[in-house]
Amino acid sequence: MLPSKSAGLFGELSTLPEEAFAEEEVLQELESVLRDPAFRRAPALARLLRYLVNETLAGRGDVSADRIAAECFGRPETVDSQRHSDPPVQVTRLRRLLSEHYRSVRGERRVLLDLVPGDHRIRFARSPASHEPPEKKSMTGRLHAMRTSPARRAALWASGASLIAALAIGGLSYRDAAPGSSASAGGSDRAATSGAATMAYPILAIDRIEPLSSGKPTVRHAGWLTAELRSALPRFRRLTILDGVAEKGVADYRLTGDVLREGSGWLLRLRLTDERDRSGGIVWRLQRSIDKTGAKMALAEAARSAVTQIAQQRGIIHSRESRAEGKDRSPGYRCLMLWRDGFDSPDIEDRRRVRNCLDSILASGNRAPAIPAALAWSLSAREQAADPRTRNLDGALAAARSAVALDPSDSFAQMSLGHVQFLAGDPAFAKADARALALNPYDPDVALYVGLHRLYAGEESGAALLDQAERYHVQPPAALITAQVVAAVLAGDDDSVRLYADRMVRDSRARFPKAFWQAIAAGARGDRPKANAYWREFEADHPLAAQQFQDLVAGFGMRPPVAMRLDAWIERHVRSERN
């Protein structure tokens, strides 16, 4: 359950564990992938994929660029791969095409072909949706503690609904909606709200900033500016950064620039070009005078501005920093931004404003499933987190079912239906969860909420999905770390509870009061006085939330040894409450 770093150009397939499969299964999956029209239109990439799979099956694994050039593309083996970049470029294109294929594929795939970033080895992984049904799995390992009697599981279920409502405070990941498209009718772009199931994340190539003035200071400054710009942009998740040496056709966008001496400072000029536009149209320009002291801040602002332009075109940059102001956007986009920013407001009137906005967009005849799905969340978990009296699960179920009816292939709609059914205690949530996971197994939000649902249902695969969701993120969101805390509590793993709670205490993004996490961390360390002190601080500022989460935190003050099972812990807590 401890965090693990994601390695991968796209940060998705390569997070799945590598497994051994029969050669027949691998070759069958290879032929299935090559039947994709995208591979038929790219015979060179199809030939490269077949070559790399065969090399891996033959035990030769990671082959060099020279061997690829000689054996796959027929070039002399003496070619200088540092000067001629055909194999690296083709491998990058293949990795991207594979990612696009698995995002758009429908139905269960037992084997996944993954091109390992940093080398040329194909690895074989099992699809998350292809594991055995939960009823066939044995309850082993850390979830052994979750075997409870029906009465105790009912208590756990009630507590789980409140805890998942708290997780919503971290929020679904921010996704920008593109102007126009379905958003112009009052909704948001489906790719922005359903995890971009059928669209690859944009690739941005950054060229070296050219010095236009003579002299070593300008040359050194141009090199420094290039390095700073390349370090500022990778923090935007779901945006792949390539060095500018990439050939044309690999990147979706290209950032170029130059710098020249101007008085005691420099004049920086940047240009963002849409590489998909055959005319090479420039979509963004920046010209700014900078000095040594303000260069870093200027470059950070330039990075945000450039990424915002990409977000407006593609709508899938996964970062708060890329979110533009809503005043120039469609009503549907502004409504979703209001929903995401105001769902946990302590003011009931703010939450009513969110609901009224969603209702008005829904009444306008919007056909995008994101709006009724958002309404479902607003009526259930999000408002419950602030005041359980304001929730409306019947309305939430109706909205979620409307979202699914509008587009059954939308993973966000299916996930919303499953989550509301879970909160309502309807066992049908498992079917909606399975559909959401099958539609988009690489979306971290899907993995997060499906993992939590399975965890509370006592299924072993729930914890694995949470770990998988965490590996999808370079910087896991607060909601995901919260989920890992809950998983550790259920498993009786005090060490993991303490580690994750401490992370939440240090996390400046956490919107839930730090006293809550300090109480949990102190309780996991066995420091009852501190846990009680932090809890009283949290209770004084947030009495309603404290009442909701009493079952979770109060247990730490009377925590049995780690080896004892969770049901014994709950039983002891219930008995003490009665006394």
Question: What pLDDT digit, counting tens, does each position of 130-172 carry?
Answer: 444 333 333 223 333 333 334 444 444 444 444 444 444 333 3
Q: Domain boundary at 425, 440, 455, which?
A: 440
Lowest mean pLDDT among 10-24, 146-160, 261-275: 146-160
pLDDT at residue 211 greater than cutoff 80 = yes
Largest CA distance in the chain: 83
Residues 285 and 339 in one domain: no
Q: Where are the alpha helices (DSSP H) in 105-215?
A: 150-167, 190-193
Residues 20 and 101 in one domain: yes
Residues 486 and 525 in one domain: yes
Q: What is the CATH number of the domain that holds 123?
A: 1.10.10
348 close to 310: Cβ distance less than 8 angstroms:
no
- Greatest mean pLDDT among 189-193, 343-347, 363-367 lies in 363-367
**What band does 198 get if pLDDT is binned at 50, 70 and 90?**
very low
Q: Say how far residue 13 (Cα) sits from the centre of its chain.
A: 13
207 close to 256: Cβ distance less than 8 angstroms:
yes
What's the pLDDT at 289?
76
Q: What's the rounded Cα separation, in Å, for the pair 500 and 516?
A: 13
Q: Domain boundary at 440, 456, 489, which?
A: 440
Residues 282 and 418 in one domain: no
Is 364 part of any domain? yes
Domain count within the chain:
4
pLDDT at residue 419 greater than cutoff 60 = yes
Mean of pLDDT values over 435-440: 85
What's the pLDDT at 249?
61
Mean of pLDDT values over 199-227: 75
Does this model's pTM top 0.75?
Answer: no
Is 457 part of any domain? no
Radius of gyration of the chain (CA): 26
Q: Say how far residue 67 (Cα) sits from the centre of its chain.
A: 36
Q: What are phi and psi of 339, to 5 degrees?
A: -65, -45
Per the model's pLDDT, the better-predicted residue between 24 and 199 turns out to be 24
Is 5 part of any domain? no
Question: What pLDDT digit, counting tens, does each position of 302-318 carry?
Answer: 776 676 666 555 543 33
Residues 82 and 146 in one domain: no
Position 521, amino acid: A
CB atoms within 10 A of CB 504: 22
Residues 113 and 151 in one domain: no
Q: What's the rounded Cα separation, in Å, for the pair 264 and 292?
A: 9
Lowest mean pLDDT among 78-82, 458-462, 545-549: 78-82
Is 451 part of any domain? no
Q: What is the CATH number of the domain that holds 339?
A: 1.25.40.10
Which residues, at least 6 apart from 470, have a Cβ–Cβ distance to it below 8 Å?
A: 3, 4, 476, 480, 481, 484
Residues 351 and 417 in one domain: yes
Mean of pLDDT values over 244-252: 62
Nearest to 113 by CA among 5, 240, 9, 18: 18
Residues 247 and 352 in one domain: no
Q: What's the rounded Cα separation, in Å, for the pair 227 and 156?
A: 51
Instruction: Name the E strands within 481-561.
Output: none
Nearest to 47 by CA among 68, 26, 78, 28: 68
Residues 48 and 144 in one domain: no
Residues 341 and 395 in one domain: yes
The average confidence (pLDDT) of the chain is 62
Residues 238 and 309 in one domain: yes
pLDDT at residue 470 greater than cutoff 50 = yes
Residues 173 and 145 in one domain: no
Is 109 part of any domain? yes
β-sheet bridge partners, residue 237: 318
Nearest to 11 by CA among 474, 463, 478: 474
Helix, strand or coil, per DSSP, at residue 280: coil
Mean of pLDDT values over 400-424: 82
Nearest to 193 by CA among 214, 166, 172: 172
Q: What is the CATH number of the domain that holds 254?
A: 3.40.50.10070
CB atoms within 10 A of CB 425: 12
**What band does 574 get if pLDDT is binned at 50, 70 and 90?**
very low
Which residue range forms the structural domain that includes residue 72?
13-130
Q: Domain boundary at 315, 348, 373, which?
A: 315
Is 252 part of any domain? yes
Position 369, amino acid: P
What's the pLDDT at 532?
77
**What band does 382 get if pLDDT is binned at 50, 70 and 90?**
very low
Is 114 part of any domain? yes
Q: What's the rounded Cα separation, in Å, for the pair 61 and 64?
A: 10
What's the pLDDT at 262?
76
pLDDT at residue 94 greater than cutoff 80 = yes
Is 215 part of any domain? yes
